[in-house]
Amino acid sequence: MNSGKYAVFIATIVVLCLTIIFSGFSNVARLQGIKSDKKLFPNEFAVKDVLIAPVDRVYGTWVFIYIYQVCWMCYGVSLILRSNAPDLLDKKFFGSYSIALICNIIWLFTWSRQMHGLGFVFYVLQAVFLNASLYFAFASSDEYFQPSPSVVLSSFDFWSFRLLLINGVSFFTGWVSATALVSFAAVLQADLGVAQASASNAALSLLLVFILLWSALQNFVWERHTRLVFAEYISVIVVLAGVIAKEWSYKHEEVRSYSLVLFIITFMLAIFRFGLVIKEEAKRGTFPLTHHERGEDVKLI
């Protein structure tokens, strides 16, 4: 790893630690018994009367997200410490991921001060840079996931990269993208005076576009890079389950029904993805060592 990439990686670790610390002070996860620092974060993050805001306990997912990020970051450290580690990630990935975390911190400060419009902008930017970091991860690791690569990853790197790093960032991306639309509905209501149901339906429609777009890119554009990536479906399903759990006791039948339809669509797309992976891997084999079993002239690292 060159000095420039090393510096960016260290900066990413620092920014992640700051994000976790500020999130803890803000109690954005709404953990029972933990109060936010009112000087840093004077108001609650929840916006009242947003129909598609999930039940409070769903926001505890932030804890899982940060644990997941720390886990893949530990794998990133191993890429530095091992002399024969593959060159899977570049500075663009770490830079985009760091900017996403900085946007998260800015969102914490602006949204808690009821600067909903500005906070929403930075929350959307967080989603944009997280998606960009995924793209850069796919691009920088492309040579290792060609149909017939000249260099094959070890089993440790293969599984760590796919299940820890890519799935970890994907879960974060899916969560932020889905909850950004909750913030969008809040901005429509609080700042633009849009009716509750109309704001929620507009946000759900954008979420549907995001789900379909991601499924199309994953299955037909980035297929070999995202073959074992399912975390984004899980994060969106968790958000929608929280919305449905809240709305089931309310009288907004249109929003409740729309949320349920999106939940079913996302669940079916996840099942389709599982089925497609099983079908494809039954043909060609999943794991790095299968190239050696076929007698191909490849180098294992």
> Tell me, what's the pLDDT at 1?
54
> Tell me, what's the pLDDT at 130?
96
> Tell me, what's the pLDDT at 298?
47
Q: How far is CA 263 from CA 56, 176, 179, in A?
A: 18, 17, 14
Classify residue 264 by burial, with Cβ atoms within 10 Å: 0-12, 13-18, 19+: exposed
Mean pLDDT by 10 residues, the chain (301 residues): 78 94 78 58 62 84 93 90 84 94 93 87 95 91 76 85 92 93 88 86 93 88 79 92 78 82 94 81 56 44 53
> Tell me, what's the pLDDT at 31?
55
Residue ranges of domains in the chain: 3-290
> Tell me, what's the pLDDT at 39?
62
> Tell me, what's the pLDDT at 13?
94
Q: How far is CA 131 from CA 125, 177, 269, in A?
A: 10, 9, 19
Classify residue 74 by burial, with Cβ atoms within 10 Å: 0-12, 13-18, 19+: exposed
Q: Which residues pair with 300 in a beta bridge?
A: 152
> Tell me, what's the pLDDT at 208?
94
pTM: 0.86
> Tell me, what's the pLDDT at 296?
46
Q: Could you report the per-residue pLDDT of 18-74, keeping only the tens digit for each?
A: 999 988 887 776 655 555 556 666 555 555 578 888 887 888 899 999 999 999 999
